[in-house]
Structure 1
């Protein structure tokens, strides 16, 4: 970690500004809280099913909606921490500049995919609302989950754009504190 509380990649310069790091951390906390709530609900439902023969109604629907929220809440933090899967077999002997450029290229591809997902998720959420798409048992409108998913996706786009710039700064020696 840097003195500013930002994750520090191998090359030295932070990959994202402090505000993005804090927002990503906040979304990861939201995702973790939803994950813990899903776990507790699942355990409770299994215990109720085995003891009373009556599970929590719609538990699988809540897990389905919660899983989508959890995944999208964790993606920005995963990008900041460099937690995405990489294949570095071919670059283990490459210099820091080439690795930085390749990391920037990978982040750029990820940025394009994240932006595409965000771009299509907005009309998708609008369509779910328009057609009143709901879960089958609990009748929860599916588009409610997009109140968390869309901001998380927007944050992923911002974090990934910042990481492209951070990787390029590192690759070409313009780290924080150096001109």
Structure 2
């Protein structure tokens, strides 16, 4: 095991995995908040329909749609680093089932490197959008909230996703390393093994 792969292994286990888990929990918490807001808003509309014949009124949550729109982007992206570390993405190995383990590992490492590049590309675009929204003073229409702070969780998630994919491409052989999640790999199945997975 080289020094680079040993460092990648430690970074994955000691740094990236706890951060990815925390970020996924954040995403789950935000989704719970969105669910609660939705329940309250729908209940308000239902009560309004009940009391309206008697002249009553129950308003919905002001700015509900824009609040959900601001929260959902970062929450959805928050799961990607954990999904990446667990090989929870879709993988179709129809053409590699009979290929040597070394070939599968090489293909996997290439896919991981391309995934890291894609995540960085998306992060750069989001950063540009954040800076522009802050400079333009973009605010929501109802609540008059600045939009750019809500981009930060998504930016963090994309950066961590890129780091996870990049480190996994450099990780040493063994369970969880590139190629080891294939059920026919020499090291046996790793996390999320299967011929087709989706997360």
Q: TM-score, normalised by structure 2?
A: 0.74
2:78 partner SS:
helix
Summarize the alignment of residues 76-91 of structure 1 with structure 2, pairs less than 5 Å apart.
76-91=81-96
| Map of 2:194 onto structure 1 | none
Q: 1:167 to 1:97 in 2, by over 3 A?
A: farther
Q: 1:49 to 1:134 in 2, by over 3 A?
A: same
- Deviations along 1:14-61, whole A, 9 cap, x unmatched? 992321000000000100000011011101100011103421111111
Gaps of 5+ in 2: 1-8, 49-57, 181-186, 188-199
The structural deviation recorded for 1:171 is 6.0
Contact 2:63 2:143 in 1 (8 A): yes
| Map of 1:32 onto structure 2 | 28
Gaps of 5+ in 1: 1-12
Distance 1:80 1:24 in 2: 8
Structure whose alpha-carbon radius of gyration is higher: 2
Distance 1:63 1:137 in 2: 13
Q: TM-score, normalised by structure 1?
A: 0.81
| Map of 1:70 onto structure 2 | 75
2:80 partner SS:
helix
| Map of 2:126 onto structure 1 | 121
Structure 1 runs (4+) deviating above 4 angstroms are 167-173
